[in-house]
Amino acid sequence: MIVLKFGGTSVKDSYWIDRTIDITNNQIERAPVLVSSAISKVTDKLISIGKSAEENNKNAIFETIETLKKMHFDVAKDFLTGKNLETATEALNGFFQELESFSKGLFMLKECSPKSLDMLVSFGERLSTLLIYHRTIERKIDSELIDARKFIITDDNFKAASPNYDLTNPKIKEYIKPKKGKIIITQGFIASTPEGVTTTLGRGGSDFSATIIGSALDAEEVQIWTDVDGILTTDPRVVPQAKKLETISYSEAAELAFFGAKVVHPYTIYPAVVKHIPVIVKNTKNPDCTGTSIIKQPVEKGIIGIAGKKNLTSINISSYRMLNAYGFLSRIFTVFNKYKTPVDLISTSEVSVSMTIEDTANIDLIEKELEEIGKVTIESNNGTICLVGKNIWKDSSLISKIFETIYPTSVKMISLGASDVNLSMVLNDDEIDDAIIKLHKVFFE
Ligand code: ADP
Ligand code: ASP
Ligand code: MG
């Protein structure tokens, strides 16, 4: 069997949903499972409903629901007919009634907790897969739509839940029975707790859903269909000349993703590595292009890609007690653990620790607790650049070339050698793009 995951732009309207179905149908003899994201921009619109509820803005809520209705009904009317259109319309009406009453509830309470938000955004993937399913019926393709919340079981860390593989793997096998000649359709991104409460895997999490499913079912391969030709040497929005990588190792892809290459969600790689399943990134708009294969391969020397991340906050903690303060790091990490805040980059000296975080939802509470451990300084508007490549850290001429290239930009922190495939550094946010452009020119053009 194979898993094909389609991102929002691949299902953005009736034309692209048909191309998505074509790509899957062309491989129907490989027993495909189609995993879809919400239609492009829908998740953002659903999140804005939650914000409007908190801000007491009733009009904005109902305008957004009207926009969402139009987007989905337009697609249905475009490519469904007769009884099939009637059934789909009934189902869409049901979803929108549910969304309206849910949004009214949020508005009355003027709140949108992470738990409510996950329920709210789950409508996006449920709506897109409903349309895809009805279109396969219209095209007389054997298919089945299964709600991912039945088989992807997570903890209750809403907005970024972690799968419980012991519960999830058997459920995937119980619910999904891939078959040659049939397309099984399900949602990316959404999941549920063992008690059946809706959760999500974090923004961009549909890629992760695809490898979770692929790994449980021992897929031949997982295909990630998106809007670029594959994994490129850097973000093409920053450097339009970025080049496609033909193959990349699991560890290199994981580092690029973790440090900001949005093309695959950072957690996507792990389930694939466990079973050595190849993950192929391909372009829905250019399906004949070979894409990029993420595979187990010996990594070659040299820099293969550059990733950038912005809007990070740096935190520096200096120990009051100074030398040999063992227990210092563990106390610091206990605080981040308590507030479920992942740390991106870390650099330590004997007396101080610097780190960057992306999620600042609990920054005030974190600061307060860290102040009990040491002197804390916080700086926002920071970003990271990560150069990925085997053994960069062993090649001092490469390292000097990197710093010569970005000179005179000031580097606030460096992390080198923690993994054998990356060199990361912290710069001012507004210097990130410029530094990436310079580095790309020197190493790839
Ligand atoms: P989807 O909706 O299909 O999941 P995303 O928007 O999440 O698509 O990811 C694809 C986008 O990732 C591309 O359009 C590109 O702008 C961005 N991107 C960032 N870094 C890279 C990279 N190294 N290679 C390819 N794309 C990248
Ligand atoms: N629809 C979700 C998002 O926009 C998940 C995904 O696209 O992977 O984040
Ligand atoms: Mg994505």
% the chain with pLDDT above 70: 97
Least Cα distance to 335 among 363, 375, 377, 358 occurs for: 363
pLDDT-derived band at 79, boundaries 50, 70, 90: very high
Residue 325 has pLDDT above 70, yes or no: no
Instruction: Say what the pLDDT of residue 256 is.
Output: 94
Rounded CA separation 229/399 (Å): 30
Q: Spell out which residues line ligand 1, taking CB within 6 angstroms.
A: 7-9, 37, 204, 226-228, 231-232, 234-237, 256, 261-263, 305
pLDDT at 371 over 60: yes
What's the DSSP call for residue 229? S
Q: How far is it, in rounded angstroms, from Cα 182 to Cα 110? A: 45
pLDDT classification of 303: cutoffs 50, 70, 90: very high
**Best probe residue, ligand 1, of 20, 39, 226 (max atoms within 8 Å of C-beta):** 226
291 has pLDDT over 90: yes
pLDDT in tens, 156-193: 999 999 999 999 999 999 999 999 999 999 999 999 99
Running DSSP on this structure, what letter comes out for residue 420? T
Q: How far is the CA of 183 from the centre of ligand 3 (A)?
A: 22
Ligand 2 lined by 205 (C-beta under 6 Å): yes
Q: Give the mean pLDDT of 367-387.
A: 94
Using an 8 Å Cβ cutoff, are 125 and 187 in contact? yes
pLDDT tens string 183-207: 999 999 999 999 999 999 999 999 9
Sign of CA dihedral 132, 138, 139, 141: positive
Distance CA 346, CA 310 (A): 16
* pLDDT tens readout for residues 332-369: 999 999 998 999 899 887 788 999 999 999 999 999 99
Ligand 2 atom with the shortest distance to the CA of 205? 8
The owner of tokens 């059946």 is 196
> What is the chain's mean pLDDT, rounded?
94
* Nearest CA, atom 6, ligand 2: 204
Q: How confident is the model at residue 299 (pLDDT cuts 50, 70, 90)?
A: low
Q: 37 in ligand 2 pocket by Cβ < 6 Å?
A: yes
Q: Whose CA is nearest to atom 21 of ligand 1?
A: 235
Looking from the CA of residue 204, the nearest atom of ligand 1 is 7
- Judge if the beta carbon of residue 128 lies within 6 A of ligand 2: no
pLDDT at 324 over 60: no
Q: How far is CA 218 from CA 2, 9, 79, 438, in A?
A: 9, 27, 34, 42
Q: Does residue 417 surpass a pLDDT of 70? A: no
Mean pLDDT of 404-431: 89
pLDDT at position 180 is: 98
Mean pLDDT of all residues in 291-312: 89
Between the CA of 294 and the centroid of ligand 2 the distance, in Å, is: 21
State yes or no: pLDDT of 25 exceeds 60: yes
Find the ligand nearest to 226 CA: 1
> Looking at ligand 2, which atom is closest to the CA of residue 265?
8
Q: Which residue has the tokens 């973000």?
A: 235
